[in-house]
Amino acid sequence: MKEVKIEEAWKKKYPEQVSLAVTISKDGKPDIIALGWVMPTSFNPPMVAISVGKTRYTHKLLSEVPEFVLCFPSERQKDAMIFCGTHSGKDYDKFKETGLKPVKAKYVKPPLIEGSVAAFECKVVATLDTGDHTIFVGEILTAYISETEEKRIYNFGNYFKSISND
């Protein structure tokens, strides 16, 4: 083994699944963030952790309304995902800008994204400060999958590729 800079070793983790998380402000305006740092943490109760940078608008919204909808975007949503991952909800209404369609959730205030490969309604039950990001642990209240077959998006480091999970 040769010792290298930490960033160089991290490049070896790709491909990484890409997700979107929808959050909402106290006055009901939703935002969407692209996420790579997502981890299931428990089957029973079902839990998932997301790691959100402290500078993200999503971080502020999660502190105000501790609920999120985690969505796996389909290949058709690739451009929208890139927009959500490169623009802040401080400045943009991402549903409006991307054309992604919100669908009312059953248990939480943030909406689902129509056409997702899968979506999970989550309420935040714990947080962990991990430096420049905070881990938000969500209990999954219910989940959905697309009725049509859709490919998921994977990040290969410097490009994105769509892969079927079937």
**Contact residues for ligand FMN, defined by CB under 6 A:** 18, 31, 33-37, 51-53, 56-58, 85-90, 133, 155
Closest distance to ligand FMN from the beta carbon of 128 (Å) = 14
Structure tokens at 32: 């969407």
The alpha helices in the chain, defined as continuous H runs, are: 6-10, 57-64, 78-84, 94-98
Nearest one of 127, 166, 125 to 149, comparing CA atoms: 166
CB of 44 to ligand FMN, least distance (A): 25
**Is the Cβ–Cβ distance between 61 and 152 less than 8 Å?**
no
Q: How far is the CB of 149 from ligand FMN (least distance, A)?
A: 23
Q: Nearest distance from residue 35's CB to ligand FMN, in Å?
A: 4
Q: Give the nearer residue to ligand FMN in terms of CB position, either 3 or 28.
A: 28
Per DSSP bridges, beta strands 47-53 and 118-129 are unpaired
Q: In 3-state terms, what secondary structure has residue 60? A: helix
Of the candidates 76, 71, 79, which has an alpha carbon nearest to the alpha carbon of residue 98?
79
CB of 164 to ligand FMN, least distance (A): 19
Cβ proximity to ligand FMN, 10 vs 142, nearer residue? 10
Query: Which one, 57 or 72, has the nearer CB to ligand FMN?
Result: 57
3-state SS, one letter per residue, for 148-166 = CCCCEEEECCCCEEEECCC
The residue among 33 and 65 lying less far from ligand FMN, judged by its C-beta, is 33
Among residues 63 and 142, whose Cβ is nearest to ligand FMN? Answer: 63
Closest residue to ligand FMN, based on beta-carbon distance: 85
